[in-house]
A = this chain, B = another copy of it.
Amino acid sequence: MKTACSCYRVRSDGTYTTTGDFDMADTTTPYSDVMEQIERDFDGSVERLGEFLKLKSISTDPAHDEDTARCAEFAAQMLRDMGFEAEAVQTPGHPMVVAEHPGANPDAPCVLYYGHYDVQPADPVELWDHEAFDPIVIEGEHGPRIVARGAVDDKGQVMTFMEAFRAFKETRGELPCRVKVILEGEEESGSPSLDPFLEANRERLSADICMVSDTGMWDIETPAITTMLRGMVYVEVTVHGPSSDLHSGMYGGAVVNPINELARLIGMIHDDRGRVTFPGFYDGVTPLDPEVKAQWDGLGFDETGFLGAIGLKEGKGEEGYNALERTWCRPTCDANGIFGGYTGKGAKTVIAAHASAKLSCRLVAGQDPQSVLESIREFFESNVHADCRVELESHGCNPSIAVPTDSKWLVSARGALTDVFGRDALLIGTGGSIP
């Protein structure tokens, strides 16, 4: 999320509250005491968020490495203050904040919360009306909101569950379930330490469910839970032809040209209905749940506005699906980069010995990344000209995530959100991928 405002729910009576409390809510249990405590201490929670936002935890900028470490320690200390066993664990990159609280009942379910404490750089600074790390509250169209770098990505979201923990502790002296927390400090710089850390701390982080607090609402009035996240296969494909670069005058017309050949193959990836032609690519893909589809159809998604904002009119994709479906629940293949031959200024008449493209497939539930990778290999190897050799390098595979719509966790969270916002919480997708 790249916007710079955090959303607070303004009640009809003029009071406002965070949206964070839904995490712990259960529609069958009265949490009015906890809710009241949250409202009572609201100024305090805004103040604590303000302290969090002041820390310049810019993970991509080594000049801010100390600020980033200080921010991790700040988050760990907040958790310790609430009775968590918490530490900022060193990694090859920035620290990972890991915390655990036993809860009152050892048999209660365990919920793992994910968030990140690092932020993007504030550049271009001239576009900010005030200092990006000096949070202010402004009166917006929908009520007061906090503006600062990181307010909605992701410190605001992190504070929603932090403040929920605090309100439970202050009203009841305990948490209603076992809680684990992991906050990373490298989300804005590609999460290089996350995979190895999860792998090495599998037991320590095991939980019944993981809540990822780094997604969005549908709009400022409408709560939503992201239940689908596309997976990905990213490959670099190189087509090798002649053993060396050739002069296009001496050889042009008589030999295979790896750039033309690679282009031809990429041109074959989509059929005239916009479907991906890798063999077996759609194996396992199921139609969208009719209830979810009906919900999406009712969203009034402005496709013209969506396309117009990026200078487009027609859109392009798989026949029979609208833009929401195409990005949330249909698999794709895009070339993310291509290079070969002469790419400098002017002209050079070379037939390049090889040409490469970076291709990524976004995957949906039912697709197996390894099978898709093999399917891409099969596509290129079986269609390439006999005088060429295809080399495929994987830059990562990860599966799609789709939470079953009847999951008890999802039903519970959706009920809590609906309760607080006074309108049905949506189940939405997102086109992105998380490793």
Contact stretch, chosen from A47-55, A136-144, A254-262: A254-262
Question: Would you call A327 and B433 a contact (CB within 8 A)?
Answer: no
- Is A310 located at the chain interface by the 8 A CB criterion? yes
Could you pull out 11 A-B pairs where Cβ atoms are within 8 angstroms? A248-B360, A249-B327, A250-B327, A251-B310, A259-B266, A259-B338, A307-B387, A334-B351, A337-B342, A338-B355, A348-B358
* Least CB distance, A159 to chain B, in whole angstroms: 25
Chain B residues contacting A337 (CB-CB under 8 Å) are 259, 340-343, 348, 350, 352
Given A248-B334, A347-B396, A432-B249; A316-B263 close (CB under 8 Å): no
* Least CB distance, A70 to chain B, in whole angstroms: 29
Given A360-B349, A387-B316; A260-B335 close (CB under 8 Å): yes
Chain B residues contacting A318 (CB-CB under 8 Å) are 253
* Least CB distance, A166 to chain B, in whole angstroms: 33
Question: Would you call A385 and B316 a contact (CB within 8 A)?
Answer: yes
Chain B residues contacting A254 (CB-CB under 8 Å) are 306, 315-317, 323, 326-327
* Least CB distance, A352 to chain B, in whole angstroms: 7
A313 to B358, CA, bound (A): 28
A256 to B334, CA, bound (A): 9
Chain B residues contacting A317 (CB-CB under 8 Å) are 253-255
- A-B CB proximity, top 5 nearest: A267-B267, A243-B311, A249-B432, A253-B332, A263-B266
- Is A246 located at the chain interface by the 8 A CB criterion? yes
A266 to B81, CA, bound (A): 62
Give which listed residue, B234, B256, B269, contacts A349 with CB less than 8 A. B234
* Least CB distance, A17 to chain B, in whole angstroms: 29
- Is A120 located at the chain interface by the 8 A CB criterion? no
- Is A179 located at the chain interface by the 8 A CB criterion? no
Question: Would you call B263 and A310 a contact (CB within 8 A)?
Answer: no
Contacts A348-B358, A349-B360 aside, 18 further interface pairs with beta carbons under 8 A come to: A230-B249, A234-B347, A242-B310, A243-B310, A250-B431, A251-B431, A252-B332, A253-B318, A253-B332, A254-B306, A254-B327, A257-B316, A263-B263, A263-B264, A263-B265, A335-B341, A336-B347, A347-B360
- Is A395 located at the chain interface by the 8 A CB criterion? yes
- Is A314 located at the chain interface by the 8 A CB criterion? yes
Chain B residues contacting A11 (CB-CB under 8 Å) are none
What is the oligomeric copy number? 2
Given A254-B315, A311-B243, A316-B385; A336-B341 close (CB under 8 Å): yes
Nearest residue (CB) in B for A306 is B254
Given A315-B254, A318-B253; A244-B362 close (CB under 8 Å): no
Chain A: interface residue count, which band? 35 or more
A349 to B331, CA, bound (A): 15
* Least CB distance, A236 to chain B, in whole angstroms: 8
A349 to B307, CA, bound (A): 19
A347 to B362, CA, bound (A): 13
A331 to B249, CA, bound (A): 10
A247 to B259, CA, bound (A): 25
A331 to B62, CA, bound (A): 54
Nearest residue (CB) in B for A312 is B387
- Is A357 located at the chain interface by the 8 A CB criterion? yes
Give which listed residue, B315, B338, B432, contacts A387 with CB less than 8 A. B315
Chain B residues contacting A335 (CB-CB under 8 Å) are 257, 259-260, 263, 340-341
Give which listed residue, B332, B338, B350, B351, contacts A263 with CB less than 8 A. B338
* Least CB distance, A341 to chain B, in whole angstroms: 4
A82 to B382, CA, bound (A): 65
* Listed residue (A243, A315, A336, A360) with the most chain B CB atoms within 10 angstroms of its CB: A336
A250 to B323, CA, bound (A): 10
Question: Would you call A267 and B268 a contact (CB within 8 A)?
Answer: yes
Given A262-B263, A327-B250, A336-B348; A358-B342 close (CB under 8 Å): yes
A349 to B387, CA, bound (A): 31
A340 to B337, CA, bound (A): 5
